[in-house]
Homo-oligomer: A and B are copies of this chain.
C-alpha cells in the first residue's frame, strides 16, 4: 500500500514547479542598483519549501471548479506573504536562523537590511497580485481576497501571533494560550487559503462553515506535527534548525501534552478535518490527502 505522503507527492511536485515558474516571471531582476533587492526576493521565493499554502489554495479552488491559472495567482499572493514572514522571522533580532528551506537565510546570503526590504517588497507584491483583474473578473472578489489576506497577516492574525511568540519566553502559556498563539501565527493564513477557494468560487458565507472547520482543525494538527518534528525530526530533512523552542523554554503542544498525547490529538484533529468535507465528493480528495499528509510528513 502506498502511504498517503507518497500519494500527495505528484501534487506537491506540480505545485512547486508552478509556483517557481510564476515567481520567476513575477520578479525579473532589473538592470539597475535595485538588482540586489530582486535577487534577495528570488532567493527566498524560488525553489524550496513544501508550498503547503499554495497547494491548499489550489485544492480549495478545486472544490468550486475555479480556473487553475486564477487559483495560482491567489496561491502566489499567499506564498508572497508566507515567504516575507519567514524572511523577517529569521532575522537576528527575531528567531536568528541561518538556514531556511535548506539554503542560507536571506540575511545570511545577502545582509540584514536587504532582508528587511525583500520581506517588505514581497508583502506589497501580494496585494498588487490580488488587485489585478487577472485574478478574478469580479472586483468584489478581489477586494474580499485583499481584506481577508490583510486581516489574516496583520496584527489580528499572523503578526499578532508572532508577537505572542516573542513574549512566550517570559509568559509561559497553557494549552489555551498556545492554541490561541498558533491560531494567529499559522492558523490565520491557513484559514485564508480555504476562504480563498470560497471567495474565488463566489460561494456565500452561509456555505463556508465546512471550510472554516477544516481549516481550523488542519491548522492545529499541522502545528502539533511541526512541534513533534521539532522534537523528533531531522534538521537536514527540515532544512532548518530544530529544537529551538525547547532551548528557549517555550511552551509547545508537545511540552504541554507529551509526545503520545500530542500525536493522538493531531490524528483526531485530522479525522475531524476530513469529516468536515463529508458533503463534498471527489473534488475534495486533494484536501483530504493534504490533511493526511499534514501529520505524516517528515519535513
Contact = CB atoms under 8 A, between A and B. Distances in A.
A194 B99 CA distance: 43
Interface in A84-113: 84-85, 88, 91, 93-94, 107, 111-113
Interface string A92-136: 011000000000000100011110110111011101100110000
A25 interface: no
Contact of A154 (B116, B121, B132): B121
Given A91-B116, A164-B33, A159 B127 contact: no
Secondary structure dominating the interface of A? helix
Given A128-B151, A143-B143, A93 B116 contact: yes
Interface stretch (A36-44, A195-203, A247-255, A288-296): A36-44
Nearest to A128: B150
Interface in A151-194: 151, 153-155, 159-160, 162-164, 166-167, 171, 177, 180, 184
B93 A155 contact: no
Contacts of A166: 113-114, 117
A112 to B, nearest CB: 3
Contacts of A37: 155, 159-160, 163
A237 interface: no
A48 interface: no
A82 interface: no
B155 A88 contact: no
B38 A155 contact: yes
A225 interface: no
Interface string A8-52: 000000000000000000000000111011100100000000000
A229 interface: no
A234 interface: no
A113 B248 CA distance: 16
Contacts of A258: none
B143 A139 contact: yes
A177 to B, nearest CB: 8
Closest 10 pairs (CB-CB, A-B): A124-B154, A93-B112, A139-B139, A128-B150, A37-B163, A121-B155, A34-B160, A131-B146, A127-B150, A131-B147
8 contacts: A32-B164, A37-B159, A88-B120, A117-B162, A120-B154, A125-B155, A127-B127, A127-B146
Interface of A: 32-34, 36-38, 41, 84-85, 88, 91, 93-94, 107, 111-114, 116-117, 119-121, 123-125, 127-128, 131-132, 139-140, 142-143, 146-147, 150-151, 153-155, 159-160, 162-164, 166-167, 171, 177, 180, 184
